[in-house]
Chains A and B, each alone.
Chain A
């Protein structure tokens, strides 16, 4: 009726005969990310956002040093991972900063000085990224930066917090800040009074710290809290409870600037991905802030030191151990 006889007689049975490429079953919880150009499970992304947000609220670190590698691990292209994590940082740090502000834990004046330095540092960092990209050594520089900074800071924090915990155990009252203890920092000019931090110090160290953190934000795609927090504690002797809030305050603005820069220059911010990470992140940040207020300063620092060292060892491992695959593929700069 519908076919000439010869065609039908030779026909194979319909249906099971297809031996095609293994077809991935469509997963209902997956969502397509338009800029990253890939499909990923909503639950995995939400969980990642929540975990990183929790750390953000707990320690006052932006969490960029965790979310960028995590995103790349799930297959997000490196530029999109960096660009999107900056947008996520804005959300997680603003809710964290506000939570800290409500507890009167933000030194606005100190934060503003840090931010002023941060803007200058970001601009310098962007230029250095451009130069390193042209030389083709940006990835190496990035990995070395991560290992170096995470290693040094993690080790310092570990030693310090172990000593504090030890002293507390052995009955010696832990002096959180040596009042009247003067270092070279206190000999510099341009002195300013920071009431909330109970400090009367030169504006130059916070400006330099801010610039350095802004520089790191531009080259490493991180909020820089993991440098800012120890620098404020150990160099400026800012009280621990103010450090977290002030660092978050500064991170909001540095991350916002970095987001606009990343989106504006290489269109590497994925809003769908960012939105999912944000929802997970803000919830995690709130929980983290509450948990942080119930933990002691030295316990917090011990915990953060452990996480920082873990990430450092993981990144350093890749640099030292012979890789199974010597080659890697990348999008040439400016190809997207």
Chain B
């Protein structure tokens, strides 16, 4: 009983968000949802709807701003969305395929390769990327390769193989194309082992004819900054529609204050660090002496 009510409320909110991208007060949300829901043709759920209107996907994220406080140890982002003019007979029919990508801001990255020099393993090669996403997670209704071809995935930056990595000009001219591939593979491998690149082949599920959701966990090591959530709708290997939303990771409270202090007044911050260290040491000494060591 409780579950049914919860489902109703959640689905309603999702539908409302899909209908009205601008979030309004609760009352208006319900009104809009009701209005939107009424003209929807109530066809038999078993058959695709006899409509030629193109499908459109709309989505949003559960949290627009993730506050990073001292207790932060990662977060979970729920991406939910709806397909307008869905022709899918039921949630389980597998008529559509959806892929959800959450991507961090691109940042410069340096890859080093070790080689053997005089019996020692030392860094012998360095490769610079101008821009590699700090974080990349892709979730889909089934493995991406099963519903889209490589070219389409690549065009849309979908999947770990298609993550945008732009090489720095000075590095690119120095290495062969095989080496470039090896460096890119290394980035993917290392980022995956650090939990910063990941894929979930069955991470998107349909909860209704047009409703879908995906939950994506952000580890605490994801660099602070804006994240982009992209949603792609596929049918029979064709990209029908896509949608984009943003999430911001932000420091809050003392964490925010410290970070600003460290980067805006670096020397003062250094002096403060030394004073804090001296005070800690001296207080500890005094405390121990009073106890009569």
Contacts and interface: CB of A to CB of B under 8 A. Distances in A.
Contacts of B122: 140, 143, 319
Contacts of A122: none
Nearest to A88: B277
A92 interface: yes
Contact of A14 (B70, B74, B112, B207): B207
Contact of A32 (B43, B69, B207): B69
Contacts of A323: 114, 121
Interface in B62-111: 68-74, 76, 88-92, 107-111
Interface stretch (A170-178, A237-245, A262-270): A262-270
B293 interface: yes
Contacts of A3: 8, 11-12, 15, 37
Q: Which of B92, B109, B121, B274 has the most CB of A within 10 A?
A: B274
Contact of B74 (A2, A39, A256): A39
Given A75-B221, A263-B270, A267-B269, 16 more contacts: A9-B90, A11-B7, A23-B76, A23-B217, A32-B69, A32-B73, A34-B258, A87-B273, A94-B277, A95-B282, A274-B276, A279-B280, A285-B284, A323-B121, A331-B109, A331-B110
B96 to A, nearest CB: 12
A327 B255 CA distance: 33
Given A31-B71, A263-B270, A17 B285 contact: no
B172 interface: no
Contacts of A189: none
A127 interface: no
A7 B11 contact: yes
13 contacts: A2-B11, A4-B37, A5-B42, A11-B11, A20-B139, A21-B137, A26-B71, A91-B281, A259-B270, A271-B258, A319-B122, A329-B191, A332-B110
Interface in B95-146: 107-116, 119-123, 126, 128, 137, 139
B95 to A, nearest CB: 11
Interface stretch (B153-161, B196-204, B235-243): B196-204
Contacts of A1: 8
Contact of B267 (A13, A14, A263, A331): A263
B182 to A, nearest CB: 8
Contacts of A290: 293
B70 A32 contact: yes
Which of A6, A93, A319 has most chain B Cβ within 10 Å?
Answer: A6
A283 B280 CA distance: 10
B174 to A, nearest CB: 12
A259 B274 CA distance: 7
Contacts of B220: 30, 32, 38-39
Interface stretch (B20-28, B52-60, B208-216, B226-234): B208-216
B181 interface: no
Contacts of A286: 284-285, 288, 293
Indicate the member of A5, A35, A329 with the most B CB atoms within 10 Å.
A329
A264 B45 CA distance: 65
Most B Cβ at <10 Å: residue of A261, A263, A285:
A263
A21 B110 CA distance: 27
Contact of A269 (B71, B72, B273): B273
Interface of B: 3, 6-12, 15, 37-38, 40, 42-43, 45, 68-74, 76, 88-92, 107-116, 119-123, 126, 128, 137, 139, 183, 186-187, 189-191, 198, 200, 202-203, 205-211, 213-217, 219-221, 223-224, 251, 255-256, 258-259, 262-263, 266-267, 269-274, 276-278, 280-285, 288-289, 293
A264 B207 contact: no
A136 B186 CA distance: 19
Contacts of A32: 68-73, 220, 255
- 7 tightest CB-CB pairs across the interface, nearest first? A263-B270, A94-B281, A282-B284, A20-B215, A39-B220, A327-B186, A90-B277
Contacts of A95: 280-282, 284-285, 288
From A11, A319, A321, A323, residue with most partner B Cβ within 10 Å: A11
B110 A329 contact: yes
B204 to A, nearest CB: 9
Given A30-B73, A321-B121, A274 B111 contact: no
B271 A260 contact: yes
A295 interface: no
Interface string A322-333: 110111111110
B108 to A, nearest CB: 5
A11 B5 CA distance: 13
B205 A19 contact: yes
A190 B273 CA distance: 37
Nearest to A330: B110
B209 to A, nearest CB: 4
A7 B269 contact: no
Nearest to A90: B277
B263 A267 contact: yes
Contacts of A90: 273-274, 277-278, 281
B198 A21 contact: yes
A143 B112 CA distance: 15
A296 B274 CA distance: 33
Contacts of B139: 20-21
Contacts of B219: 24
A50 to B, nearest CB: 12
Nearest to B198: A21
A24 B27 CA distance: 36
